[in-house]
Amino acid sequence: MPSFAAHRADLAQLADQHRIRQLLPRRGSDFASNDYLALASAPRLRDAVAAALASGVPVGSGGSRLLRGNSEEHEALEAEAAAFFGSEASLFFASGFAANAALFATLPQRGDLIVYDALVHASAHEGMRLGRADCVAAEHNQVDAFEAAIRQWRKGGGTGTPWIAVESLYSMDGDRAPLAALADLADACDAILLVDEAHATGVFGTAGRGLAEDLEGRGNVVTLRTCGKALGCEGALICGPRIVRDFLINRGRGFIFSTAPSPLMARAVRESLQILAHEPERRERLQGLVRHAERALAPAGVHPTGSQILPLVIGDDSATMRAAEAVQAAGFDVRGIRPPTVPPGTSRLRVSLTLNVTTEDVARLAALLQEVVR
């Protein structure tokens, strides 16, 4: 049998279905990235990294955190992040995917139950696949569905800890989780609430502390805050009670056996937190851009979400990708999103608003979308 025959067959099937993925260069106005506050190329971050290099901070960590890879920059970031977000402790990972996968694979134990929102990120599913707890999906944003799943599990003899897993702001729909009601449910059911703040950190809350800022510091709340979106860097921070940090350091294979993130990136994230604290005008400008875009894009069929993520649901996969190609050819980087990333029948153009574009860019995109999507 030829080498990689099964892989070739799988790719051929994807190609027949017009679902083959490719890496594309950056082109056109940025309506696709998660660089919401335009910090990825901010002079303050470049200067902070340059100063760190000049002071002798190494580019690479040289090993895992438990060997020689632990740096003063990692420790400083984790202390500053915990203070900034209001958690007892935090732990830095190299990516949001790695952090989320480690969290779900490590914290819930055998005999526990994870009730997760049907639209949670693929990284959560990967962690659940690696973990030992039972898992069940709940209908998107329906608190009653979470409660019913926990009650049914208890009725069936479940005696462990329930874990409620949600995103505060969903990356493909731009809608928000009912966090206050979910926190009340967690209290009532002796559950632990896991909140992925990936798309809310930096954009919402006091000084960009996210949509879960009022829940941070509770003994039964753990948050994930990625650093590669609004913070403009890389990596992710898991924030919560100190026991969470200690347990991940001792039992989290994704942490124990991974080379530590670059100390330079830890330094960059520290600077991003300072920018959040001292440059509120970035969030204000983004909020103004969101309000403008909601009005401008409404005639094309975009419904307001109150967030920087504005989906234009087309439905049909092929029609969605044709529309994306037309928009990209006109100089706007808007990506088409298809199943399995979104549910079948909900293929869409995902319009992501960042400070890398202007109101004039939004107006031109709005006019084009009205022509392309009929």
User: 308, exposed or middle or buried, with CB in 10 Å at 0-12, 13-18, 19+?
Assistant: buried
Element (DSSP H or E) covering residue 225: strand 221-226
- Catalytic residue (choose from 29, 34, 61, 87): 34
- Catalytic residue (choose from 73, 117, 126, 167): 167
155 noted as active-site residue: no
Contact 114, 108 (CB under 8 A): yes
Cα of first residue to Cα of last residue in the chain, in angstroms, is 49
- Catalytic residue (choose from 171, 220, 262, 352): 171
167 noted as active-site residue: yes
175 noted as active-site residue: no
**How many whole angstroms separate alpha carbon 369 and alpha carbon 374?**
8
- Catalytic residue (choose from 196, 213, 234, 294): 196
**Other Cβ atoms within 10 Å of 37 Cβ, number:** 25
199 noted as active-site residue: yes
121 noted as active-site residue: yes
Contact 33, 308 (CB under 8 A): no
Tell me the three state secondary structure of residue 336: strand
Torsion of CA 305, 306, 309, 311, to 10 degrees: 20
**How many whole angstroms separate alpha carbon 287 and alpha carbon 37?**
10
As a 3-state breakdown, the chain gives helix, strand, coil percent values, each rounded to 5, of 45, 15, 40
In terms of Cα–Cα distance, which of 277, 314, 309, 292 is closest to 363? Answer: 292
- Helices 281-297 and 359-372 sit at what angle, rounded to 10 degrees? 30
What positions carry a catalytic annotation? 34, 121, 167, 171, 196, 199, 229
